[in-house]
């Protein structure tokens, strides 16, 4: 913990860290993946649309965001808000991974870095969504922040757990069995809507909500 207070973040060790000094750099891995999924959805989505494919999109997006990103990654892995059997924890972590924002270690580091930085007197605009919408979209989905003096991270059990390490290494590959199953079930349309469109809307929706939450309303 950062300290004994109730709002301390999970894994950040902030000694000597600076939340301001740093630069935003293009992240080729996430940029190519996110851009490729969006382009595929926009180009092939209208050509392969069927009511069944759209139903697959709705069901798979809801399952991944709710079970995986919200309950699995955010509430269980990051905040430890509830206890559950290890098999259920692993299942929820898998759903979180196939939501396709990244692997579990990356998600914890990203969440805790931003949470820590926003509690400092000042932080880099990247970490606070404090730029215009178009620049923030490019930064958040296609770039990464490289702080000159970043905090250290101690991921604890999930950093040592072989299953979490496997998910971290293979987060892209985890889409393959889903794509094969959907192709067998309903052809290329199911793959486009059940993988590409699902990933595109999840990534862009997650960014859009974050951007609005940091720039609209009472900010409390």
**pLDDT, tens digit, for every residue of 144-175?**
999 999 999 988 899 999 999 999 999 999 99
CA distance 69 to 71: 6
- What confidence tens digit (pLDDT) does each residue in 79-138 have? 889 999 999 999 999 999 999 778 999 999 999 999 999 989 999 999 999 999 999 999
pLDDT level of residue 67 (50, 70, 90 thresholds): very high
Domain membership of residue 5 (yes or no) is no
Domain membership of residue 78 (yes or no) is yes
- The answer, yes or no, to whether residue 47 has pLDDT greater than 60, is yes
**Shortest CA distance to 202 belongs to which of 176, 175, 162?**
175
Domain membership of residue 164 (yes or no) is yes
Domain membership of residue 219 (yes or no) is no
Domain membership of residue 87 (yes or no) is yes
Q: What percent of the chain has pLDDT over 90?
A: 82
Domain membership of residue 28 (yes or no) is yes
- Name the domain count of the chain: 1
Question: Is this prediction's pTM over 0.75?
Answer: yes
Domain membership of residue 2 (yes or no) is no
Domain membership of residue 188 (yes or no) is yes
Domain ranges, residue 155: 12-212
**Shortest CA distance to 164 belongs to which of 66, 94, 69?**
94
């Amino acid at each position: 913990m950062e300290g004994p207070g109730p709002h301390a973040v999970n894994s950040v060790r902030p000694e000597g860290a600076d939340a301001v000094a740093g630069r935003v750099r293009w992240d080729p891995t996430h940029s190519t993946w996110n851009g490729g999924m969006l382009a595929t959805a926009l180009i092939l989505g209208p050509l392969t649309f069927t009511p069944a494919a759209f139903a697959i999109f709705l069901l798979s997006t809801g399952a991944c965001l709710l079970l995986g990103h919200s309950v699995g990654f955010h509430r269980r892995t990051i905040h430890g808000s509830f206890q559950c059997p290890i098999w259920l924890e692993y299942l929820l972590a898998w759903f979180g991974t196939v939501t396709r924002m990244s692997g579990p270690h990356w998600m914890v580091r990203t969440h805790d870095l931003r949470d820590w930085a926003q509690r400092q007197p000042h932080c880099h605009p990247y970490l606070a969504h404090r730029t215009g919408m178009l620049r923030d979209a490019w930064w958040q989905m296609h770039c990464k922040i490289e702080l000159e003096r970043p905090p250290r991270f101690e991921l604890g059990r999930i950093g040592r757990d072989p299953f979490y390490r496997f998910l971290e290494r293979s987060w892209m590959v985890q889409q393959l069995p889903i794509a094969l199953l959907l192709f067998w079930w309903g052809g290329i349309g199911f793959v486009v809507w059940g993988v590409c469109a699902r990933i595109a809307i999840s990534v862009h929706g997650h960014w859009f909500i974050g951007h609005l939450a940091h720039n609209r309303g009472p900010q409390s």
